[in-house]
Amino acid sequence: MEFSGPVYVHEYLLKSGVTLNAVSQRRVFAGALIRVNDGHGCIHPWPEFGDATVEEQLSLLADGVTTPVTEMALRCAELDGAARRAGVSLFEGLEVPPSHYSWSFSAETEPQMERVLAEGWPAIKAKGFANYGETMRFLEGCAKRFEAQGTRLRVDFNGVLDRRTFEKFVEFMPLRVYRALDFVEDPFSYDAEAWETMRRRWGVALALDKGWKTGTHGFDAVVVKPARRDWRAVAGLHPEKRLVMTSAMDHALGQMFAAYEAALAAASGHALDFCGLCTEHLFEKDAFFERVSSHGGQLSADRGGGGLGFGEVLDSLPWRRLR
């Protein structure tokens, strides 16, 4: 992607109370905001999934070399800048689609249960563990508590199981969990025939994140993180599959970009499943996350300063020139 004009950066650290997925043990997450021509973007790599570190991303960008992560950040900055210069919010005329509740294992269980029930969240999503028995016990507790409300259950294993272990997970699943299960994301490394066999044998819906480029069959939904890839490319490859648009569990600005792209996809006529955009509660509060709120699956977009919002906060940051 070509870009012109100086690039300014502000590096940040996000902190979570617990690890956020099954393949990472980190609780501190480094990233950087960029400012280009009045617009802003978010560089939030996940080295666990093959990304270069934020230091490497910035070094390459300083030399004019982009990666998939920085390309999306630059695209975000371009859209954000155009809207800010026009004095409008990118969410003008758009409606952010509803999301599942992203479960936090660092927070107390009961307050989260009560929140899901009181606010009427349509679904919850939790990370799965290699010790699938622990995951099963958690899902059973949720199924019992949410049965009357009909809240759907989603679990993401990030590929930490193997085929045999996943089969045991499904085989010994309590009936109430089975009935409430919406899908299992990346149960084990994608293999089209193996996944298709699991779907047909057990009647469990599967969602694909890793391997979406080469995925052909054996899954029901595709998970898309707009901060990491263009959802249009994913939708073009898998026109018959459910799209689940999620944040990359990143900075609040990146979260807003994901929400904007999801709203745009919905407005363009794409059938979206419940998204995963409400992730602000997974991190310690900062000046950005304090301006983000979700209720019952509906994310409230910040509109301060136009574009993706946070105008005053962004203006107050110490920026340094990268190139």
For 206-256, how does the pLDDT look when each residue is reduced to its tens digit (9 = 90+)? 999 999 999 999 999 999 998 889 999 999 999 999 999 999 999 999 999
Is the domain of 49 the same as that of 187?
Answer: no
CA contacts within 13 A on the Cβ side of 34: 27
Assess whether pLDDT exceeds 80 at residue 315. yes
Nearest of 217, 216, 204 to residue 177 by alpha carbon: 204
DSSP code, position 271: -
Q: How many CB atoms lie within 10 A of CB 201?
A: 11
DSSP code, position 185: E
Q: How many CB atoms lie within 10 A of CB 309?
A: 27
Q: CA-to-CA distance for 259 and 129, rounded, in angstroms?
A: 28
Q: CA-to-CA distance for 185 and 160, rounded, in angstroms?
A: 11
Domain span at 35: 7-89+312-321
Is the domain of 121 the same as that of 251?
Answer: yes
Is the domain of 215 the same as that of 84?
Answer: no
Average pLDDT over residues 254-269: 96
Is the domain of 85 the same as that of 191?
Answer: no
Is the domain of 204 the same as that of 285?
Answer: yes
User: What's residue 5's pLDDT?
Assistant: 79
> How many structural domains is the chain composed of?
2
Query: Residue 189 belongs to a domain with what CATH number?
Result: 3.20.20.120
Question: Considering the chain, what percentage of its residues have pLDDT values greater than 70?
Answer: 96
Write out the two tokens for 100. Answer: 């599942």
Integer angstrom CA distances of residue 53 from 10, 28, 50, 60: 15, 13, 9, 11
Tokens 């100086």, residue? 6
Write out the two tokens for 290. Answer: 């304090």
Is the domain of 165 the same as that of 275?
Answer: yes
Is the domain of 124 the same as that of 260?
Answer: yes
Question: Considering the chain, what percentage of its residues have pLDDT values greater than 90?
Answer: 89
Average pLDDT over residues 194-215: 96
Show Cβ contacts of residue 29 under 8 Å, excluding neighbours closer than 6 positions.
13, 14, 15, 16, 44, 249, 250
